[in-house]
Amino acid sequence: MPAQLIDGVALSGLIRGDVATRAAALTAQGRKPGLAVILVGEDPASAVYVRNKVKACEACGFHSVLERYEATLDQATLLARIAALNADPAIHGILVQMPVPRHIDPHKVIEAISTAKDVDGFSVHSAGALMTGLPGLRPATPYGCMKLIESTGLSLKGKHAVVIGRSNTVGKPMALLLLQAHATVTVCHSGTPDLGAHTRHADVVVVAVGRRNTLTADMVKPGAVVIDVGMNRNDEGKLCGDVDFAGVREVAGFITPVPGGVGPMTITMLLVNTLQAAEALNA
């Protein structure tokens, strides 16, 4: 029997409905949630992502601003703009779309955002809070993956989860969230010699490397939950993930599609974080 699809669009719809209700309650108190999104440069994929983030904000009744700057924008000007947004009471979340041009230091940009408005959860403070189990804003993509796994009804307690990828934005926070949910976690990466030796024992596999066909059917334990964070193009130019979907769906118990899996959940959890930041202010 082929795997059950985990529908990120449907789950997003449910969560965004709740977000819109809570946003309306804040707005009625004069505390409308606000997100500022900054894009530096003309990368077409990034332009689509930020537009989708702003559109999702508007659909949920948030205030949102999109600031676009030329790739030549200097770092000092960007940091000054972030400082102004830190001080703006109408803005509860600030997101600078990554990657930024090479002359700008992404760490400086991330650390310039005030902790309370770090809705990406990328700062050292937010990462430290996640690592130590303190409350805080969690990176949207792994947070969304956790919601997708939860939606299967599977308890992670005592399960073996394998994360493929060790980025600061997905792989590492994903591993920490799975640990927090009492899974036994293995983190694999491009230097792992025999990926299949790990994934074949996994009850949950999260793939976040940005390379198609990283996970194939022979590498998956029957019935496993497979979460595909990848966003690639195949030879025909069609969007595809890191998982060989057609093959793996015949073995897995649950699987996320690309598109329609993790992608919409990333935006949804950004909305959740912005709402949480707005609710926390003067709560």
Closest-CA residue to 23 (of 75, 53, 51, 58): 58
The amino acid that residue 221 corresponds to is: K
Spot the catalytic one: 4, 32, 43, 53: 53
**Binding segment (CB under 6 A) for ligand GUN, from list 90-98, 189-197, 220-228, 257-265:** 90-98
**Binding segment (CB under 6 A) for ligand GUN, from list 96-104, 199-207, 216-224, 239-247:** 96-104
Of 140 and 149, nearer to ligand GUN (C-beta) is: 140
CB of 144 to ligand GUN, least distance (A): 10
**Binding segment (CB under 6 A) for ligand GUN, from list 5-13, 83-91, 93-101, 173-181:** 93-101
Question: Within positions 240 to 279, which residues make up the interface with ligand GUN, using CB under 6 A?
Answer: 266
Of 40 and 183, nearer to ligand GUN (C-beta) is: 40
Helices 8-28 and 262-280, interaxial angle, to 10°? 20
Contact 164, 199 (CB under 8 A): yes
CA-based Rg of the chain, rounded to a whole angstrom? 19
Distance CA 22, CA 278 (A): 10
Q: Does position 174 bind ligand GUN by CB under 6 A?
A: no
Contact 197, 187 (CB under 8 A): no
Spot the catalytic one: 120, 203, 228, 242: 120
* 53 labelled catalytic: yes
CB of 119 to ligand GUN, least distance (A): 9
Burial 65-81 (b: 16+ CB within 10 A, else e): bbeebeeebebeebbeb
CB of 280 to ligand GUN, least distance (A): 20
Q: Does position 95 bind ligand GUN by CB under 6 A?
A: yes
Of 96 and 149, nearer to ligand GUN (C-beta) is: 96
**Sequence-separated contacts (24+) of 237-242 with Cβ below 8 Å:** 240/212, 241/207, 241/212, 242/164, 242/207, 242/208, 242/209, 242/210, 242/211, 242/212, 242/213, 242/214, 242/215
Distance CA 218, CA 251 (A): 9
**Binding segment (CB under 6 A) for ligand GUN, from list 6-14, 92-100, 235-243, 272-280:** 92-100
Distance CA 122, CA 148 (A): 21
State the residue for tokens 């799975």: 178
* 147 labelled catalytic: no
Of 163 and 248, nearer to ligand GUN (C-beta) is: 163
Spot the catalytic one: 7, 55, 75, 97: 97
- H or E segment at 45? helix 44-59
Question: Within positions 100 to 159, which residues make up the interface with ligand GUN, using CB under 6 A?
Answer: 120, 140-141
Chain residue at closest Cβ approach to ligand GUN: 98
* 120 labelled catalytic: yes
CB of 96 to ligand GUN, least distance (A): 6
Of 241 and 253, nearer to ligand GUN (C-beta) is: 241
CB of 97 to ligand GUN, least distance (A): 5
Closest-CA residue to 161 (of 151, 149, 144, 143): 149
Distance CA 20, CA 14 (A): 10
Residues annotated as catalytic (active site), given as ranges: 53, 97, 120
Contact residues: ligand GUN, CB under 6 A: 95-98, 120, 140-141, 266
